[in-house]
Amino acid sequence: MWKQKIGISVGNHYNMPTEQLVGVLKNIGFEGVSLEWEKDVDIKKVIAAARESGLEIISLHAPFSKMNWMWQRPLGEDEYPLDGLLASLKVCYQEKISTLVVHTWIGFDYEDQPNEIGFENYGKLVDQAKEWGIHIAFENTEGGEFLAALMEHFEGDENVGFCWDSGHEMCYNHSEDLLKKFGQRLLVTHLNDNLGISRFSGETFWHDDLHLLPYDGIADWEENIARLKASKPLEYLNFELNISSKPNRHDNDLYQKMTLEEYFTEAYKRACRIAYRYSM
């Protein structure tokens, strides 16, 4: 019998209130959820509903709009986007959530390079997280050089680790083995599938970031599982999936024909296949 807890990331844009959806996820079989902080969402209400249903809160996802600004000028704690990072971190502290997932860059224009301004801005977040006993999990997205720079800069900080997005690795990071680089600092997973980079030029673009159910894309899940097993052990394998297609694409359209109960049940079945192999 395999024993591996399974979690799933939940945004706030389904055709069902998030505080109701978490109960559905618990009934399907998920044991934890990773939630998304948004300024206009009563996240504490969602957290309470999730915990009332018996779900663990694995992590909270910080806002990531305009994260390139973090590298462009010094930011005060009340300035966007640093204020959003600190506001979501405060929720982690108040609600006893152990980990905040943070992006290190956004966009596909790379005029900026890792610099002291960014280290200073992110340092404000890391220092406050350390004071409150919260882990910061930097996620691989576009702009892999910014992730690498932050992981190196904060290498000695025990509260800084890695969130591995398996799909981002394929479509943004040119399938570079990021678990080989950062797997011993792994804190959270965002497991999902896609079809890789669609442009013959090799140029990356967000329309390739499909977040398909595992086994609906081209990912080699046996290889992914082997790499996960060689990384820091995790209490939860967390999945981050998208029920909707990207603009002018139809890769996820089949999911739209399912009810939410059907969709997340199928997601759970795929997750169980991976969890079983991971626990062997």
For 59-89, the pLDDT digits (tens) are 999 999 999 999 999 999 999 999 999 999 9
When pLDDT is averaged across residues 186-215 and rounded to a whole number, the result is: 96
- pLDDT of the residue at 2: 66
Asked if residue 128 lies in contact with residue 88, where contact means CB atoms within 8 angstroms, the answer is no
Q: What is the pLDDT of residues 109-143, one digit of tens each?
A: 877 899 999 999 999 999 999 999 999 999 999 99
Both tokens of residue 7?
Answer: 């979690």
Domain 5-279 is of which CATH architecture? Alpha-Beta Barrel (3.20)
| All structural domains of the chain with their residue ranges | 5-279
Asked if residue 132 lies in contact with residue 155, where contact means CB atoms within 8 angstroms, the answer is no
Q: How far apart are CA 132 and CA 159, in angstroms?
A: 10
Q: Examine the pLDDT at 1 and tell me if it is beyond 60.
A: no
